[in-house]
Amino acid sequence: MTLNEKETRLQLIDPLLHAAGWTGGLVDEEYKYRPGKLRLLGDQTVRDQAQYVDYVLRAEPRGGILGVVEAKDESHSEGAGLQQALAYAVDLAAPFAYSSNGRGIVEQDLRTGKVRQLQAFPTPDELRQRFAAGATWRGVTVTGRGGDQVSNPLLHPAFALPGAPAMRYYQERAVSAAIEQILMGHHRALLSLATGTGKTFIAFNFAYKLLATGFARRILFIADRISLRDQAYNEFGGLGERRGVIDGPNVPLARDVHFGIYQTLYAAAPGGGKVYERYPRDYFDVVIVDECHRSGYGDWGAILDYFQSAFHLGMTATPKQDDSIDTYAYFASENKDENGVPRPIFEYSLGRGIDDGYLATYKVLKVSTTVDEGLIVKEEVERGAELIVPEGTTPRDVYEMREFERAIVVPDRTKLLCQHLAGVLRTNGALDKTIVFCVTMEHADLVRSEMQKLLGSETGKNLYAARIVSEERDAGAILEQFQLASSSEPVVVTTVDLLSTGVNAPSVRNIVFMRPISSVTMFKQIIGRGSRVDSITKKTYFRIIDYTNATRLFDGWDLPTLPPVEGSLEGDQVIAGIVTDDETGELLAGASISVRLSGRLLAEDRTSDEGFFRIGDLPETVVDVFITSSGYTRRRLRVDTTESGATELEVALRRPSQVDHRLHISGVNVAIAEEVELDLGNGNVIHSDEYLKRAKATILEKVDSLQELRDIWIDKAKRTELSEYLGMRQVTPELLSLVLGRADVDGFDLLARVAFDFEPVSRSARATFAEPVLLAEFTELPEGFVSAVLDKFRLGGVTEIASSELFTLTPFIGLWGGVLGVTSLLGGPEQVAAFLGAIPRTLFESESNA
């Protein structure tokens, strides 16, 4: 009998690896390298299936990765998994890839491309020696910065403590890439990884490996803000007393790793010169510059020139842009592409982080006002607005949005945006942590004041909103308080740019642009504030609320990859219908209709003078139809082109509610003109039909028939086991009820509907049917007791009546003495268990009378 993959691994491949010496910490089995992409399903997220590497071979426990092994069952050839192993090896920067069916082994050396058949795996010593061969710097021992022969830091174990997080695959790859550069004799390198991917953790492990092997003796870490310096100091906590902070003219010469901001280093020292000149020029072996894109070469250049004998590692959270050319030209000068263009030694984008599942996905709400296209001063004054003109200033006729709060202060617009933001927070979560990026300190103060006034009293928080525009005085303490996931105040912070870089606040759910942005680098930094997944608050996605059209700056770096489209995009199907005003019923001419499939545009059209549209040549599938018209909120429909209703669509567009509630606070007429929730079409959304298809497959992995599901649901232990299995795969009653629109049924009916096309029966109907059956079986129970139990089922389903904890609730605690009283009433614990077992059996055995 042919062994399956699990049996092949256990009985054949594991013994081969163990015989070669791959045991203990030298081999990671089922190495989880991608936890699975988080995708939006309404206001919930669903995680795609995690990806694992069958075996990862290491030079030392937690040390450098030497190889990956992909296992296939006996029915496959030994080389059937090689292509998959190569893909893993590229991602993990492993030099050797293996495929095996337990009867044979195929190896490919990624450095030479050579493929060979093997009967046994190479030993750890053999693979280490082969890894070391071929280049002088790849030795098992290498020459350190001090000239001594030391262990190769590339192979050395990463730092680890019990319970401490291990490096993710891309972090290991970044550390290895940086070490390779220094071993090759290069003097500088650049790492580019999106915010939230752990750049400081990477820097720590890079430094730890160099120090632990003796390759480097002393390291300087430079930031441009005190908070970032202190964050890095704490991240390097594994080095204990080897750390020192440069916080004045006295430098911590007795320490091995020094943390400073370039402002302090460049400050004048007592007795002349600069603080950095108090160090000997060759004091540091490595200098790490954090967020190096923020500070042009003029800021840190003199310091790096002074320590020119050290290896310089720059870290940035953005790709190359016009405003970061000097950063790339300096740090990436020794690593160029085939066209001679400087590039990072390793790059990991926001989109890749979302694809892998390490970063939160996002949704975008884009809002504009009636003055965003231009504020015509003369018209506003004629309407009665008061215009204050400072002496020596000549007002212009028109001011564009990018000039608001700089050249002209428009408090009415700011107050309207705050009112709108308050509405969004009330709808989605008034206590969701939010960062609002403002134009000036005064603008940030007005926004703070408005948000406190609008939501402070509603939430009962005296510090609902706070302004953070400086690290001085109490602003630092407020920032630390905001960063804590456990802290309930402040909820909203307003800033200009202090929070745009490096501040680690994983629980932030809303990023708000009230400040026009022209720098792509700044834009990426700002949206990165929301990209972290936070296990404490269960945050898995964030919102970008855009009042200034900043999201026009999205590019490939920020976007997840497009999902694959199966089949042809052409066909002979048609969709057609009319578009009307939701309030008046008026037919809307010129409304824009676009049809998309998995983000790809299939067709576009506009409604006729009679509000009619017709689009043909569409494939036989479910498509997304977007309908927009000026002054209306955009709508999106999911349409199955094969159904008859696809040619009878009736789409009613509504105007944003604020349009009819104009504000006249300072005399300027300003209102919300358009509010659009953007679907970026990049696979960050999972549609209902796709989720249900996935849920059905998951249920059928464990349940073969409706009757088997019924039997499981009646048995508490089996029901719990199945629920836990499905819950781990995000098939939950909460999500299923959301998708199916049936909040009135039990989990059994939801699972049965998805897996077996069963017509759900409401909890109320089940309870009504069960009540006389239970009364006939338990005649000794007092009047109202069974009815009270079934009322709990009506409210929350079978989980509400699964244990005797039910009897700690009202009315049991008052009328029948709680758990002890009910136990006595029923005749003992066994009788209680029998009663609790009879309820689901009666509820779910049959629906014939429900």
Radius of gyration of the chain (CA): 32
Q: Do residue 245 and residue 197 come from a single domain?
A: yes
* pLDDT less than 50: residues of the chain: 136, 658-665, 849
Q: What is the CATH number of the domain that holds 287?
A: 3.40.50.300
Q: Are 56 and 91 in contact (CB under 8 A)?
A: no
In a domain, 316, yes or no: yes
The Cα 403–Cα 564 span in angstroms is 42
**Boundary (domain end) residue, out of 348, 381, 402:** 348
**Boundary (domain end) residue, out of 324, 348, 372:** 348
What amino acid is encoded at 825 in this protein? L
Two structure tokens written together for 654: 């509504």
Q: Which helix (H) or strand (E) holds 307?
A: none
**Which range of residues forms the domain containing residue 70?**
5-134
Q: Which helix (H) or strand (E) holds 555?
A: none
Question: Which residue pairs from 418-421 have beta carbons closer than 8 angstroms and sit at least 24 positions apart in sequence?
Answer: 418/447, 418/450, 418/451, 418/454, 419/450, 419/454, 419/658, 419/663, 420/367, 420/658, 420/672, 420/675, 421/451, 421/512, 421/545
The Cα 188–Cα 314 span in angstroms is 8
Burial of 91 (0-12, 13-18, 19+ CB in 10 A): middle
The Cα 753–Cα 743 span in angstroms is 13
In a domain, 368, yes or no: yes
Q: Do residue 643 and residue 517 come from a single domain?
A: no
Per-residue pLDDT at 322 = 58
Q: Are 730 and 692 in contact (CB under 8 A)?
A: no
Burial of 659 (0-12, 13-18, 19+ CB in 10 A): middle
Two structure tokens written together for 739: 């998708």
CA angle 115, 121, 122 (to 5 degrees): 85
In a domain, 117, yes or no: yes
The Cα 511–Cα 195 span in angstroms is 14
Adjacency order of strands within the sheet including 635-640:
600-606, 592-597, 622-628, 635-640
In a domain, 265, yes or no: yes
Q: Are 337 and 343 in contact (CB under 8 A)?
A: yes
Q: Are 469 and 444 in contact (CB under 8 A)?
A: yes
In a domain, 410, yes or no: yes
**DSSP label of 553:** G
Q: How many domains does the chain have?
A: 6
Q: Are strands 311-316 and 286-289 parallel, antiparallel or unpaired?
A: parallel
Q: Do residue 172 and residue 305 come from a single domain?
A: yes
Per-residue pLDDT at 408 = 82
Q: Do residue 583 and residue 636 come from a single domain?
A: yes
Q: Provide the sign of the torsion angle of the four alpha carbons 741, 746, 747, 750, taken in this order.
A: negative
In which residue are the tokens 């964050």 written?
231
Neighbours of 556 (CB within 10 A): 11
The Cα 424–Cα 405 span in angstroms is 23
Q: Where are the alpha helices (DSSP H) in 484-615?
A: 520-527
The Cα 73–Cα 13 span in angstroms is 10
User: For the chain, how many residues are written?
Assistant: 850
Q: Do residue 249 and residue 190 come from a single domain?
A: yes
Neighbours of 595 (CB within 10 A): 20
Q: Do residue 340 and residue 365 come from a single domain?
A: no
**DSSP label of 709:** H
Q: Are 471 and 227 in contact (CB under 8 A)?
A: yes
**Boundary (domain end) residue, out of 756, 791, 809:** 756
The Cα 674–Cα 633 span in angstroms is 6
Q: Which residues pair with 347 in a beta bridge?
A: 192
User: Hey, which bits of 489-591 come out as E strands?
Assistant: 492-495, 510-513, 541-546, 573-581
User: In sequence order, what are the residues at sequence separation of 6 or more whose Cβ sits closer than 8 angstroms to the Cβ of residue 382?
Assistant: none
The Cα 733–Cα 757 span in angstroms is 16
The Cα 251–Cα 272 span in angstroms is 15
The Cα 125–Cα 148 span in angstroms is 23
CA distances 178 to 181, 730, 841, 849, Å, are 5, 38, 63, 70
Q: Are 421 and 497 in contact (CB under 8 A)?
A: no
Q: What is the CATH number of the domain that holds 577?
A: 2.60.40.1120
Q: Do residue 413 and residue 379 come from a single domain?
A: yes
Q: Are 752 and 700 in contact (CB under 8 A)?
A: no
* 666, HSE (Cβ side, Cα atoms, 13 Å): 11
Q: Do residue 367 and residue 490 come from a single domain?
A: yes
In a domain, 606, yes or no: yes
Q: Do residue 416 and residue 499 come from a single domain?
A: yes
Q: Do residue 173 and residue 322 come from a single domain?
A: yes
In a domain, 562, yes or no: no
Q: Are strands 612-618 and 141-143 parallel, antiparallel or unpaired?
A: unpaired
In a domain, 64, yes or no: yes
What amino acid is encoded at 815 in this protein? L
Q: From its phi and psi, is residue 197 left (phi > 0), alpha (psi between -120 and 50) or beta?
A: alpha
Q: What is the CATH number of the domain that holds 72?
A: 3.90.1570.30
Per DSSP, the residues of 517-530 read ---HHHHHHHHGGG
Q: Do residue 750 and residue 774 come from a single domain?
A: no
Q: Do residue 227 and residue 341 come from a single domain?
A: yes
